[in-house]
Amino acid sequence: MPFVSIEQIAGHAGEEITVRGWLYNLRESGKLLFPQFRDGTGVVQGVVSLKESPEAFQALAGLTQESSVEVTGRVRADSRAPGGHELQVTGVAVVQKIPESDPYPIQLKEHGVDFLLEKRHLWIRTPRQAAILRVRDQSIFAAREFMHQQGYALTDSPIFTPSACEGTTNLFEVAYMDDQKAYLTQSGQLYLEATAAALGKVYCFGPAFRAERSKTRRHLTEFWMLEPEAAFAHMDDMMALAEGLISYMISSVVEHCPGPLATLGRDVERLNAVRPPFPRIPYDEAIEILHRSGNQTPWGEDFGGDEETILSSQYDRPVIVHRYPASIKAFYMEPDPERPDLALGFDILAPEGYGEIVGGGERISSLELLVQRLREQNLPEEAFSWYLDLRRYGSVPHAGFGLGIERTIAWITGVEHIREVIPFPRTIYRISP
């Protein structure tokens, strides 16, 4: 008897198959049972008749939610069944029955989000959470595929680092060996600048850590970032790469995850609108748009969630904001030669209020200017001496960006809060389970 995953069941109409999974729900109606089974790829409804399959009926009657089972039955096309097919059950082998004295904690009713986060190790089994993780898998797979197709080599950056990349206010300090201090990485960028000079076009994909005090729906303390970096590249090259990457991720999810997107109730038309080119607006113009919309953010200030939402709501696809004031951007940003008070940096803001999903730009290639910036920002030159070497030995214009995976996937799935798109979220108040 072949084992079939539920997502493949449509291809087996009329056949007898076996599904391995868990009892998701059970409706009992006299001499008929209507169990629903899930196996991580989908949910299928079964029907069991006492008269035709008495043993299967006895095994399932009263079986507890989330008990594990192997179920054999014939697949029947039925347009009324969720998923279009149902299983006429002929045999059930119970792998583990959950005792009634210790029932599965998450019932098929509304639970508070704190309770669900406490039970995150179980919550991920529910079809909606599994659908989100399925989209995450496809998005990441597509992103890596795209980078590889574009000729970018994966060169992962270290997690333990001796210095800060994105400011010193949100660093996680770690007690390293023998009284040494280390920090958890905020971004792999500085190391990518080294590997870009070695391989030309590179990227890393890994976790980043920021001790964010912000309790917003967009912040995690541990999140994943995909960061490309290229030698002999400028800001415009990176904008084009980022819009290609994002569009590719989305079209891949739309193509390969119709089931999960349907489970999530995602409006696929809005995703289909996401095609290059994305609108590009300078920071100066963004400020004017804000003022016209009644938001009085003065020139020179960074944007928060409110500003990002106003700006992104003007478009049906992500918008690229570029040339921010240098004073609000990181120490490594190349100044605009025509207006040195601006940095050649850009952010990409997702539509539908999801905010900044990408930050990047061109890096300073002059040794003198970089040393000056380190001093201005009181960063320890000693810890950056290897980084300065990259400007001493064959410095070239180079640029890159970081795409926040969870923010991107929250937008793709249409999920309200970023904590649902990572298997085990870490936030200001939560590091368990």
Tell me which residues touch ligand 4AD (CB under 6 A).
Answer: 165-166, 187, 189, 210, 212, 219-220, 223, 225, 227, 356-360, 400-402, 404, 406-407
- Residue 415: which region, alpha, beta or left (left: phi > 0; alpha: psi -120 to 50)? beta
Would you count residue 355 as binding Mg ion (CB under 5 A)?
Answer: no
Q: Peptide bond before 54: cis, by omega within 30 degrees of 0?
A: no
For the bound state, the minimum distance from the C-beta of residue 66 to ligand 4AD, rounded and expressed in Å, comes to 31
Would you count residue 318 as binding Mg ion (CB under 5 A)?
Answer: no
For the chain, the farthest-separated pair of C-alpha atoms sits apart, in whole angstroms, at 86
Residue at token pair 């001790």: 211
223 binds, among Mg ion, ligand 4AD, none (CB under 5 to 8 A by kind): ligand 4AD
46 binds, among ligand 4AD, Mg ion, none (CB under 5 to 8 A by kind): none
Residue at token pair 């960074």: 302
- Residue 395: which region, alpha, beta or left (left: phi > 0; alpha: psi -120 to 50)? beta
Would you count residue 228 as binding Mg ion (CB under 5 A)?
Answer: no
For the bound state, the minimum distance from the C-beta of residue 320 to ligand 4AD, rounded and expressed in Å, comes to 12
For the bound state, the minimum distance from the C-beta of residue 410 to ligand 4AD, rounded and expressed in Å, comes to 9
Q: Which is nearer to ligand 4AD, 69 or 132 (CB)?
A: 132
Q: Which is nearer to ligand 4AD, 39 or 356 (CB)?
A: 356
How many C-beta atoms surround the C-beta of residue 354 within 10 A?
25
For the bound state, the minimum distance from the C-beta of residue 80 to ligand 4AD, rounded and expressed in Å, comes to 42
Would you count residue 425 as binding Mg ion (CB under 5 A)?
Answer: no
For the bound state, the minimum distance from the C-beta of residue 223 to ligand 4AD, rounded and expressed in Å, comes to 4
State the pairing for strand pair 32-38/43-49: antiparallel
CA dist 127 and 260 (Å) reads 9
Q: Which is nearer to ligand 4AD, 35 or 359 (CB)?
A: 359
Would you count residue 360 as binding Mg ion (CB under 5 A)?
Answer: no
Q: Which is nearer to ligand 4AD, 335 or 402 (CB)?
A: 402
For the bound state, the minimum distance from the C-beta of residue 418 to ligand 4AD, rounded and expressed in Å, comes to 6
Q: Are 127 and 43 spatial neighbours (Cβ–Cβ below 8 Å)?
A: yes
For the bound state, the minimum distance from the C-beta of residue 401 to Mg ion, rounded and expressed in Å, comes to 10
How many C-beta atoms surround the C-beta of residue 51 within 10 A?
8
User: What are residue 397's phi and psi, to 5 degrees?
Assistant: -60, 135
Q: Which is nearer to ligand 4AD, 50 or 154 (CB)?
A: 154
Among the listed residues 35, 260, 359, 360, the single contact to Mg ion using CB under 5 A = 359
Q: Which is nearer to ligand 4AD, 4 or 330 (CB)?
A: 330
146 binds, among ligand 4AD, Mg ion, none (CB under 5 to 8 A by kind): none
Q: Are 28 and 39 spatial neighbours (Cβ–Cβ below 8 Å)?
A: no
Q: Which is nearer to Mg ion, 9 or 165 (CB)?
A: 165
For the bound state, the minimum distance from the C-beta of residue 242 to Mg ion, rounded and expressed in Å, comes to 13
Q: Are 218 and 202 spatial neighbours (Cβ–Cβ below 8 Å)?
A: no
Q: Which is nearer to ligand 4AD, 89 or 184 (CB)?
A: 184
CA dist 145 and 134 (Å) reads 16
For the bound state, the minimum distance from the C-beta of residue 280 to Mg ion, rounded and expressed in Å, comes to 17
For the bound state, the minimum distance from the C-beta of residue 81 to ligand 4AD, rounded and expressed in Å, comes to 39
358 binds, among Mg ion, ligand 4AD, none (CB under 5 to 8 A by kind): ligand 4AD
Q: Which is nearer to Mg ion, 24 or 401 (CB)?
A: 401
Q: Are 390 and 427 spatial neighbours (Cβ–Cβ below 8 Å)?
A: no
308 binds, among ligand 4AD, Mg ion, none (CB under 5 to 8 A by kind): none
166 binds, among ligand 4AD, Mg ion, none (CB under 5 to 8 A by kind): ligand 4AD
As a 3-state breakdown, the chain gives helix, strand, coil percent values, each rounded to 5, of 35, 30, 40
CA dist 283 and 277 (Å) reads 18
Would you count residue 73 as binding Mg ion (CB under 5 A)?
Answer: no
Q: Closest CB to Mg ion belongs to which residue? A: 359
Q: Are 197 and 231 spatial neighbours (Cβ–Cβ below 8 Å)?
A: yes
CA dist 113 and 118 (Å) reads 8
- Residue 423: which region, alpha, beta or left (left: phi > 0; alpha: psi -120 to 50)? alpha
Q: What are 240's two structure tokens?
A: 């084009």
CA distances from 181 to 161, 167, 262, 300, 395 (A): 9, 17, 48, 35, 30
Q: Which is nearer to ligand 4AD, 39 or 420 (CB)?
A: 420
Helices (H), 265-357: 268-272, 283-292, 305-312
**Which residues of the chain form contacts with Mg ion (CB under 5 A)?**
359
